């Protein structure tokens, strides 16, 4: 069985391997207070991660290593995540009379029925979540399965960077942990909280109810579309476009000609994703949307979405309830915070009770 549910022993640095950049977040906790100790964002060439798979392990490892140096502090143990699209998550109910070994065997039999790959190509882990309240003889079991290769490549990238990868988590669980953490007491039983992350290549919608992600959908859409059209139409290299995003130095002309229409495209993509969500089950209206990922910093997007969707939309600040280490530049952090959501959700695993 694999280590999705490994119990951690020490503080883990969260490593989010995105298609355009790796992000590192290092947290620490004293009593109940969590501190952001350091973070790093290091760009990756487009060839390093393709369709969510690590293609150039050495390049990814080098970027993580650079991130460790930027963080400056002594980092050792790490946690990374596999995208939800690479994972099959299944809720099972099995007899509580099984011994541990019998349970593992039974789970392999169950897994074989719904995993479309040979079992020896798949990493499997499970967590016993307690008895079914309606039938206490059955235990509720959360089963996670992922192609070995996706787990091994990500783990190896982290280990090759000089860290020790203690846990390979699932991105969805990291988002669930983060939304729970930033909402704390604010969520009532009926609230449906959505997280929409739009990165360079992928847009992900997660909906959480009572602390659990109940809906997840990923689609291929992100800032690469915008970057490419600026590259083609304005004669800038992709690196120059990325650099001008980082420095928030976009000309008014590009803003009007390409970014404003792209903002409308994002709004349409989100509306469509929400239609899928609403038609997938008889859920109530969403209470709030948290926006994250590189595209979330597009000027006016939050306001446009609120107007078009009629729902409260907020940029995600994963550190809103945390102390910030004095050496961290607060203005820079404010800009970077929405892209650090996944890395922070991963790092929060260190403090799971
Ligand atoms: N102000 C901005 N306007 C438009 N795009 C931006 C802006 N700032 C950053 N970006 C884009 O956001 C991207 C980085 O976002 P993020 O770090 O969330 O992506 P990622 O996690 O690497 O990608 P993915 O999650 O899709 O694999 C950059 O490639 C950049 O093109
Ligand atoms: Mg991302």
Pick from 104, 10, 50: nearest CA to 220: 50
Q: From residue 52, give the alpha-carbon distance in Å to each of 57, 99, 259.
A: 13, 37, 25
297 lines ligand 1 (CB under 6 A): yes
21 lines ligand 1 (CB under 6 A): yes
Say how many Å lie between the first and final Cα of the chain, rounded.
22
Q: Which ligand is nearest to the CA of 263?
A: 1
Q: Which ligand is nearest to the CA of 345?
A: 2
Pick from 216, 232, 313: nearest CA to 266: 313
pLDDT tens-digit readout, 18-63: 999 999 999 999 988 999 999 999 999 999 999 999 999 999 999 9
Q: Which pLDDT does position 4 carry in this prediction?
A: 64
199 lines ligand 1 (CB under 6 A): yes
Q: Is 305 exposed, middle or buried (0-12, 13-18, 19+ CB in 10 A)?
A: buried
Residues 6+ apart with CB under 8 A from 8: 77, 79, 166, 167, 349, 350, 352
Of 1-15, 94-108, 115-129, 325-339, the least confident: 1-15
Instruction: Report d(CA 134, CA 141) in Å as an integer.
Output: 15
Instruction: Report d(CA 226, CA 114) in Å as an integer.
Output: 38
For the chain, give the secondary structure using H, E and C: CCCCCCCCCCCCEEEEECCCEEEEEEEEEECCEEEEEEEEEEECCCCCEECCEECCHHHHHHHHHHHHHHHCCCCCEEEEEECHHHEEEEEEEEECCCCHHHHHHHHHHHHHHHCCCCHHHEEEEEEEEEEECCEEEEEEEEEEEEEHHHHHHHHHHHHHCCCEEEEEEEHHHHHHHHHHHHHHHHCCCCCEEEEEEECCCEEEEEEEECCEEEEEEEEECCCHHHHHHHHHHHCCCHHHHHHHHHCCCCCHHHHHHHHHHHHHHHHHHHHHHHHHHHHHCCCCCCCEEEEECHHHHCCCHHHHHHHHHCCEEEECCCCCCCEECCCCCHHHHHHHHHHCHHHHHHHHHHHCC
Q: How confident is the model at residue 119 (pLDDT cuts 50, 70, 90)?
A: confident
pLDDT tens-digit readout, 303-327: 999 999 999 999 999 999 999 999 9
Instruction: Report d(CA 270, CA 293) in Å as an integer.
Output: 14
pLDDT tens-digit readout, 266-311: 999 999 999 999 998 766 889 999 999 999 999 999 999 999 999 9
* Atom number of ligand 1 nearest to Cα 20: 22
Q: Which pLDDT does position 135 carry in this prediction?
A: 92
Q: Look at ligand 1, atom 10, and give the residue with the nearest C-alpha.
A: 294
Q: Which pLDDT does position 118 carry in this prediction?
A: 86
The answer, yes or no, to whether residue 187 has pLDDT greater than 90, is no
* Atom number of ligand 1 nearest to Cα 246: 8
206 lines ligand 1 (CB under 6 A): no
Q: Which pLDDT does position 282 carry in this prediction?
A: 63
State pTM to two decimals: 0.92
Could you name the CATH architecture of 13-86+148-351? 2-Layer Sandwich (3.30)
Q: What are phi and psi of 316, to 5 degrees?
A: -80, 125
* Mean pLDDT computed over 126-155: 92
Q: Which residues surround ligand 2, an ion (CB under 5 A)?
A: 18, 199
68 lines ligand 1 (CB under 6 A): no
Gyration radius (Cα) of the chain, Å = 21
Q: Which ligand is nearest to the CA of 198?
A: 1
- Cα angle 341, 273, 141; round to 5: 65
Residues 6+ apart with CB under 8 A from 25: 13, 14, 16, 36, 39, 318, 340, 343, 344, 346, 347
Q: How confident is the model at residue 217 (pLDDT cuts 50, 70, 90)?
A: very high
Instruction: Classify 147 in phi/psi space as left (phi over 0), alpha (psi -120 to 50) or beta.
Output: beta
Q: Which pLDDT does position 104 carry in this prediction?
A: 92
Please state the domain extents for the chain.
Answer: 13-86+148-351
338 lines ligand 1 (CB under 6 A): no
Query: How many other β-carbons are positioned within 10 Å of the β-carbon of residue 41?
Result: 22
CA 204 to chain centre: 9
Q: Which pLDDT does position 185 carry in this prediction?
A: 67
The answer, yes or no, to whether residue 7 has pLDDT greater than 80, is no
* Atom number of ligand 1 nearest to Cα 250: 1
């Amino acid at each position: 069985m694999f280590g999705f549910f490994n119990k951690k022993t020490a503080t883990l640095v969260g490593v989010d391997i995105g298609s355009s950049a790796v992000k590192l977040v290092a947290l620490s906790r004293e009593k109940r207070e969590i501190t952001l100790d350091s973070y790093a964002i290091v760009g990756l060439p487009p060839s390093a991660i393709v369709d969510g798979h690590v293609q150039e392990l050495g390049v990814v490892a080098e970027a993580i290593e650079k991130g460790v140096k930027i963080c400056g502090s002594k980092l050792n143990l790490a946690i990374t995540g596999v995208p939800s699209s690479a994972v099959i998550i299944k809720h099972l109910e099995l007899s509580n009379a099984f011994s541990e070994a019998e349970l593992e065997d039974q789970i392999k039999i169950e897994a074989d029925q719904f995993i479309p790959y040979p079992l020896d190509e798949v990493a499997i882990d499970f967590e016993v979540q307690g008895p079914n309240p309606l039938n206490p003889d059955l235990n509720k079991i959360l089963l996670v399965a992922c192609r070995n290769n996706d787990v091994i490549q990500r783990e190896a990238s982290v280990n090759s960077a000089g860290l020790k990868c203690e846990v390979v988590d699932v991105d969805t669980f990291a988002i669930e942990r983060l939304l729970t953490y930033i909402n704390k007491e604010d969520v009532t039983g009926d609230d449906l909280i959505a997280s929409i992350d739009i990165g360079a290549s992928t847009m992900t919608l997660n909906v959480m109810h009572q602390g659990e992600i109940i809906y997840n959908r990923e689609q291929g859409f992100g800032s690469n579309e915008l970057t490419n059209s600026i590259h083609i139409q304005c004669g800038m290299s992709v690196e120059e476009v990325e650099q001008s995003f980082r420095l928030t130095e976009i000309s008014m002309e590009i803003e009007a000609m390409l970014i404003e229409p792209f903002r409308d495209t994002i709004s349409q993509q989100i509306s469509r994703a929400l239609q899928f969500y609403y038609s997938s089950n008889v859920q109530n209206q969403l209470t709030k949307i948290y926006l994250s990922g590189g595209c979330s910093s597009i000027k006016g997007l939050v306001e446009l979405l609120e107007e078009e969707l009629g729902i409260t939309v907020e940029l995600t600040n994963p550190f809103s309830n945390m102390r910030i280490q004095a050496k961290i530049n607060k203005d820079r952090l404010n800009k970077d915070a929405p892209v650090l959501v996944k890395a922070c959700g991963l790092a929060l695993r260190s403090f799971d009770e």
